[in-house]
Amino acid sequence: MKRFVRVSAVVLFVFFLCALPALAEKEEKPIKIGVLAVLTGAFAELGQDSVDGVKLAFEEYGYKIAGRPVKLYIEDTAATPNVAVDKCRALVNRDGCQIILGPLSGAEGLAVKKSADEWPNATIIVSASAAEDVCRRGIKPNVWRTSFCGDQPMFPLGIWAYEHGYRKVITIGEDYAFPYAHVGGFLKAFCEKGGCVAAKYWVPIGTSDYASIITELPKDADCIYLTLSGSDVISFLTQMDKFGMMGKYEIFGGATAIDAGTLTTMGEVVEGIVSGSIWTGEIDSESFRSLDKRYGALRGRPIGLFAGLYYRSAMVAAIALEKIGGKVEDQAAFRKALGSIDYQGPVSRITFDEFQQAKMDVFINEVKFVNGEWRNVIIETYPQVSQFWTYDPVEFQKQPSYSRNFPNCPCK
């Protein structure tokens, strides 16, 4: 009998040892998350910020949610729409990712959204792309956006500019979907108040020479609305300074133009510039101070918009995953959890509207020198701004999508 018991114990022990790998595999099956970022070209620094933001978020969870490890798959899209789609396809079909964070640029976001039907078992959380129609027209059930719609923070800035005495604006932006929406939101609000457009300029991404534009700027305008990103905005502001044109016009910046990277590079040249954004560089929030300190230790400068945007998308994904016990395979439950999120982030509360677009605070920032650093400092806050601002969503959707020529209100 004792021999039988011993043999049985040995058999059970051997069985247990054999079963351990299978149990471990079941318990440790990773949650695979793809990240679409721009890591080459004019927006490369913004793309690195994006990846940093995702990593900073999942570091807070120790790369584990509901007992399951989080594994990141990072792909460079080169700010090219068809590349973004191909990389998304690879992340889902090759790597088995069921959550995609990104992409960065407006045209990329539209391209990925249009292809989203290919991946019904994956959810795309658009982290930075701010093209108008990602979450405004033709909504896809698996596309959500934690970033802003391009016009969303610009409605308040257009109103603010007019209310502070500016009437004739020059607009300068890159020639693709996001700047169309960014300029469009500013002009819609500015023109409805009574402002007008002295001139519009559209340039390709990666433009380095702005001399021909700077030398022909209309002299009767009183302000420039600038929406350039990455190395483009540095080139423009550097040349404006070289030509002695800084101070000739008030400059209003879009969310990507007057970001932390621009401030660090340009310093006192950009002092006093006012911009509209859903991010800021100085806010009375313990979570912001902590995140800013962690980013500063990593990169030696204040955290900016793109690190903040991707951090936000990763945190929203993590919160939704927690709500469903990490069961990312249940995509219906994951999307339902996304819809119920009410997240108080480092700079703003985040909720979603019925179109799967985030609502958030919008800040009017001014560049100031704070404790030895150039930072965007809040001078006015517009709380919980909708992508439709104060307009009726049904009526708003009837207007044409923003373009190079819409809206427009030329000065007479």
Domain co-membership, 63 together with 174: no
Chain segment 354-411, per-residue pLDDT in tens: 999 999 999 999 999 999 999 999 999 999 999 999 999 999 999 999 999 999 999 9
Q: Give residue 20's pLDDT band: very low, low, confident or very high (50, 70, 90).
A: very low
Chain segment 185-212, per-residue pLDDT in tens: 999 999 999 999 999 999 999 999 999 9
Q: Which of 361, 319, 314 is nearest to 338 (CA)?
A: 319
Domain co-membership, 165 together with 225: yes
The 3-state DSSP class for residue 384 equals: strand
In a domain, 20, yes or no: no
Please tell me the predicted confidence (pLDDT) of residue 13.
46
Domain co-membership, 37 together with 87: yes
Please tell me the predicted confidence (pLDDT) of residue 22.
47
In a domain, 406, yes or no: no
DSSP code, position 243? T
Q: For the purposes of burial, counting CB atoms within 10 Å of the CB of 371, is it exposed (0-12), middle (13-18) or buried (19 or more)? A: exposed
**Torsion sign, CA atoms 148, 151, 155, 161:** positive
Task: Please determine, for residue 3, whether its predicted confidence score (pLDDT) is greater than 70.
Answer: no
Cα–Cα separations (whole angstroms), residue 69 to 64, 98, 150, 337, 347: 4, 14, 34, 20, 28
Domain co-membership, 175 together with 300: no
Domain co-membership, 85 together with 122: yes
Q: Which of 103, 93, 165 is nearest to 131 (CA)?
A: 103
Please tell me the predicted confidence (pLDDT) of residue 263.
93
Query: What does the alpha-carbon distance between residue 356 and residue 350 come to, in Å, rounded to a whole number?
Result: 12
Chain segment 21-39, per-residue pLDDT in tens: 444 444 579 999 999 999 9
In a domain, 411, yes or no: no
Q: Give residue 294's pLDDT band: very low, low, confident or very high (50, 70, 90).
A: very high
Domain co-membership, 34 together with 138: yes
Q: How confident is the model over 307-327, as a mean pLDDT?
A: 98
Domain co-membership, 187 together with 265: yes
Query: What does the alpha-carbon distance between residue 121 and residue 396 come to, in Å, rounded to a whole number?
Result: 31
Q: Which of 363, 354, 366, 389 is nearest to 185 (CA)?
A: 389
Chain segment 249-279, per-residue pLDDT in tens: 999 999 999 999 899 999 999 999 999 999 9
Count of structural domains within the chain: 2
Query: Got the DSSP string for 307-367?
Result: HHHHHHHHHHHHHHHHHTTT-TT-HHHHHHHHHT--EE-SS-EEEE-TTSBEEEEEEEEEE
In a domain, 18, yes or no: no
pLDDT higher at 390 or 18: 390
Q: Are 52 and 299 in contact (CB under 8 A)?
A: yes
Domain co-membership, 210 together with 268: yes
Domain co-membership, 265 together with 376: yes
How many residues are listed for the chain in this entry?
A: 412
Q: Give residue 42's pLDDT band: very low, low, confident or very high (50, 70, 90).
A: confident
pTM of the model: 0.88
In a domain, 410, yes or no: no
Least confident piece of the model among 6-15, 288-297, 306-315? 6-15
Question: Domain residues for 112?
Answer: 29-149+285-360
Please tell me the predicted confidence (pLDDT) of residue 27.
55
As a 3-state breakdown, the chain gives helix, strand, coil percent values, each rounded to 5, of 40, 20, 35
Dihedral over alpha carbons 391, 105, 230, 195 (to 10 degrees): -20
The domain that holds 41 is classified in CATH as 3.40.50.2300
